[in-house]
Structure 1
Amino acid sequence: MQKKALLLATALLAIATQAFGASANGTGASVTGATSDRVAMHRIVQDRAVAPQADYAWDRPYCLRYRSRHPDLLILGDSIFDGWSGYLMHVFPRALIDARVGRQFSSAIRIYQSLLAYSGIRSIQTIVVDLGTNGPVTAQQIAQFMMLAGNRRVIFIVPEVPRPWEREVQSLYEGLPAQYPNVQLEYWNRISTLPNGQENPAYFWGDGVHPNWYGIQALVGGLQAVLATRNG
């Protein structure tokens, strides 16, 4: 048991080292978006006064966090889940969270491929993907990721982001369940909008991308609802 825990810790250290050595942004990343991410990471500190526990918020550009020696949920994300990784750990104590400011989908493919080299992570059968905020996502990238995922359950969070690629990514994600029977969606783009189709300002910081304390509760609540269901 201790040997397995040591192997997991060693694996995660290797992944973290690799992540810090790689570029956060790939082709097509928005410089404005990256700046917005960094600003939001500082602003999130202000939400510590609102959230029930100060450690729910995280103001560092990268996180690789877990509590359980036997994680059963893998969460791959960008600044949205990085910034609220403490809250995610509270809600999902058996999760392994790998999130980074500015991350694009292409980076997640490499990270997941590296993680699969370790049996303790390879055994995780549910994956949550919160990406698409920092740049376009292609069908080819999805196909690469799903090939790695195999028959594992994959939940994509449909992003709400006032950036040029928003509709493209939303449309791509919304078509995935018809192509992959093991894919489910959380429609953050619906949860976070008002009946008139506008973003709910109570859920976001001023950039309209990063959720505040009230927004992350809604996002995570939606994820819990999807996790409680079964495919098909």
Structure 2
Amino acid sequence: MPDFCQKAKRGVFFLVKILPFLICLGMAVAFFLYGRDLSVEDLLSYTPDNPFLAAGLLLALYAVKSLSVLFPLVILYIAAGTLFPPAVALLVNLAGVAICVSVPYGIGRFAGEAFVQGLMDKYPKVRRMVEGQRKSDFFLSFFLRVVGCLPGDVVSLYLGSVRIPYLRFLAGSVLGLFPSLALATLVGVSVTQPDSPMFILSVSCTVLLAAGSAVFYWLYQRRRNRQGK
């Protein structure tokens, strides 16, 4: 009887641990089937006129995005910039990003590193970069976001699974994402005036930031490969 109870407890615990991943899988499949062509215009057409409801919807969508590596985060940045004044849009996007990185972090922390092992086998670069930068948890969280060439959801899952302190993880992640968040928000603010200096400058800076992140990541990988030889 004790053995049966012990096995039952292990079975229940296992189901509880895999439930978040089943939810992730379901959300990813649903988005793949129905939401791949989602645009800013589509999102705005479903947004309520009440600003509080609109903000609540965007925050809910940030939570949904956190459960799917397929959902484009920049759409939410731009949508907030289109719906709200710049300062309010930045606050909504900052709150949304905090939610977006926290949900997979919590899943990874609860499930543990052993359970996330299979996912990490598909993304060995995340593991290598984490192992090479563990001297500072804050800098590691910041660095992985600035690079921008790694799936953010996977990064959060893994950092949660290795139990990076949450406040350091959150501060580093939000700070690392802030440049792209701010620029995309300004794109949304000025999207109805594509010939305005704000729109042209914010789009140009967004492109330069993406290119700079890609070059930085390439140089980092090249340096690590040389050190490994």
Tell me the TM-score normalized by structure 2.
Answer: 0.29
Structure that is richer in helix per residue: 2
- Please identify which structure carries the higher strand content: 1
Q: Which is bigger in relative contact order (C-alpha 8 A, separation at least 6)?
A: 2
**Structure number with larger C-alpha Rg:** 2
TM-score, normalised via structure 1 length: 0.29
